[in-house]
Structure 1
Amino acid sequence: MKPLLFQRIGAPLPTPADLKAVDGIVVDLGYGDDAFARVMEATKSACRVFARIAPVDCLAEDELVRLLHHDIDGVVLSGCRSRADVQRLDVMLRVAETSAGRRAQQMVILAEYGTVPESALSPYSLGGSSQRLEGLIFDGSELAAAVGCKPPEERQDGETVAPIAAGRAAAILRAHEAGLACYEGLPQTAVTEKAVRRAFTASRSNGFSSVVCRSPEQAAWLGTDD
């Protein structure tokens, strides 16, 4: 599977060549309407576009309607705790699609999973939670921030701390149980082709379907064999 590319606020817009290396681009919801429209214009039909949205408890339906007017392909639910969050978002998207005049069930869901303690400890399967749910994303830096431990890329000893190992395993196992794709965020410190390829290989060998790149350079290095 091709990787995804995370578009940070303030980062340069990806070029057409950048977009050929990825399956989709994930845009931070902190973008204003004008900036978001510029991202949409830059990507057009080159790849899919996902908006990274707030945790479901902090999400307003009118915000979803506004996003759907940008003709995005789907959303990335941050801070997903369990199947209940996915089900609640599914209902909210159904209402938003009607309000925005979009075809029902058109929006895809990717859920950040294992990035908060609740999801890492949840006993509930994600299978059947929503027909929209296409995959999960694990980000060790998000979980580190949630539990107050040092992000894995900042550790000097190479050891993975227990909470991050548990969250990583939870995301992989939950995705495979439900028949979903599972992505892992590449380290921000992977700034050479060798480091990116090493991190990608480690993700694949641990059961991830693909990765989320933090920069166009990371995506380009992974796409050089295509």
Structure 2
Amino acid sequence: MSVNHPQTIRPLLLVDGTAPTLDVTVLDTLAGLILNAGCSDETLASLARLEGRDFAMLARVEAAEQPDEDGLCRLLAAGIDGVVLSGCRSRADIQKLDVMLGVAEARTGIATNRTRIYAEYGSAPEGLLSPHRLAEASQRLEGLIFDGRVLARAVGCKEPARAPHQGVAAPVLVGRANVVLRAHEAGVPAFEVLPATADAAATRWALSQSRNDGFASVVCRSLEQAIIASSE
């Protein structure tokens, strides 16, 4: 999938805490809903069973603390369509999750390679410095996600003196470029996590910057952002 046609890719919505109670027609403006892997089975199952659902259910797990095989089986049995690998440090993290998902799919009777992987790449500095290609790391790899705020905290960047949505630290600029290039090399789209703001003007500015810099779509942090991103 080309990273040069952002209008063809719907945004993702990152949900902090419990899942939102929304009409399926609202959720279907999204490519996917990212939920914490610790969500209750009831929450995951109720969303997975929504009639006419056209968005992916994605569970977010930490690369450094990947769930065990039983944990992945629980998520798959609850109906998730993919996993967001947070803090991805290298090709090896993706490959490890790929193998574990294969075992979990076999145990739960799900078709092989059905479960997709989105890797949060670039927020772990070691990932940016890795010389290893991501191309062919996994047939499951669906996209890369970049969160500049996480990278900024990891390397100790100071808060920008200007408006937060307009001040971008040098390491974050490098990280953004790296992730777009890595995604292009791997043949998958790159998504950028939007700043946490309710300001519509700031959201539109961030959307414009993401598209101009080669990101195929964005990860929204609120329903308000998702509505703006879906309509742009």
TM over 0.5: yes
Gaps of 5+ in 1: none
Give 2:124's aligned amino acid: V
How far apart are the structure 1 equivalents of 2:34 and 2:12? 7
**Deviation, structure 1 residue 31:** 1.7
Q: Equivalent of 2:161, from 156, 160, 165?
A: 156
Give 1:177's aligned amino acid: E
1:9–1:30: 8 Å Cα contact kept in structure 2? no
Scaled by the length of structure 2, what TM-score is found?
0.88
Is 1:116 the counterpart of 2:124? The answer is yes
**Deviation, structure 1 residue 43:** 7.7
2:160–2:169: 8 Å Cα contact kept in structure 1? no
* Corresponding residue number in structure 2 for 1:62: 70
**Deviation, structure 1 residue 74:** 0.7
- Closer/same/farther in 2, CA of residues 117 and 71 from structure 1, 3 Å limit: same
Counterpart mapping for 1:20-35 below 5 A: 20-35=28-43
- Closer/same/farther in 2, CA of residues 163 and 44 from structure 1, 3 Å limit: farther
Gaps of 5+ in 2: 1-8
**Deviation, structure 1 residue 47:** 1.0
* Corresponding residue number in structure 1 for 2:211: 204
Q: Equivalent of 1:146, from 154, 158, 163?
A: 154
**Deviation, structure 1 residue 170:** 1.6
* Corresponding residue number in structure 2 for 1:137: 145
**Deviation, structure 1 residue 41:** 4.2
How far apart are the structure 2 equivalents of 1:212 and 1:80? 17
Q: CA RMSD in A?
A: 1.9
**Greater CA drift, 45-54 or 13-22:** 13-22
Q: Provide the aligned length of Structure 1 versus Structure 2.
A: 221
Scaled by the length of structure 1, what TM-score is found?
0.90
Q: Identity of paired residues, percent?
A: 47
Q: Equivalent of 1:49, from 50, 57, 65?
A: 57
Q: Equivalent of 2:221, from 195, 214, 217?
A: 214
Q: Which has the higher contact order (CA 8 A, sep 6+)?
A: 2
**Deviation, structure 1 residue 123:** 1.0
